[in-house]
Amino acid sequence: MTTATASQRNVLALPPALITAQAAMQSAEVQEMLRQLSAYGLGICMPHMHDEATGEFQPLPDEIMQVEAGLAVSFQPTAEIARQAGRFLPVAWVWRDGVSMPSAVCEMVQNEDGPDDEMPTVKHKMPTRN
């Protein structure tokens, strides 16, 4: 799917802030930003969440962060995640109040079982197997 193939009907069903984000992806300026970001292995995301009852798209509030842990996504208070920063790797960022802030993180686990001269390995937290 390219930006040109996104259904206009689907986009119009979004909240206004997300319609703006979708429309921006069509602009030459944002496409140039994306081209430049790709040189660093980065992309562009549309921070959002979904209404628990209806599944409808909603803008991601400043006080909520997307969290991936055990291959499942949840939405948790940003302040709570910030207090546990050592457990999480930021994977998406937004610009708020003049600074870059994480908007999505992955929960990590460290394996320090290797030899003393090796760096510990850091991996994504996986689901517990029964």
Look at residue 30 in the predicted model and tell me its pLDDT.
97
Which tens digits make up the pLDDT trace of 15-41?
999 999 999 999 999 999 999 999 999
E strands of 41-116, at which residues?
A: 48-50, 57-59, 64-69, 72-77, 88-96, 99-111
Which tens digits make up the pLDDT trace of 59-84?
999 999 999 998 899 999 999 999 99
Phi-psi region of 98 (alpha: psi -120 to 50; beta: other; left: phi over 0): left
Q: Any idea of the CA torsion for 56, 95, 92, 58, to the nearest 10 degrees?
A: 0
Structure tokens at 77: 């208070």
pTM metric for this prediction:
0.79
Is the predicted pLDDT of residue 8 greater than 60, yes or no?
Answer: yes
Look at residue 41 in the predicted model and tell me its pLDDT.
97
Distance spanning both ends of the chain, measured CA to CA: 37
Contact 109, 122 (CB under 8 A): yes
CA 101/CA 29 separation, integer angstroms: 22
Look at residue 94 in the predicted model and tell me its pLDDT.
95
- Average pLDDT on 78-96 reads 93
Structure tokens at 99: 């600074």
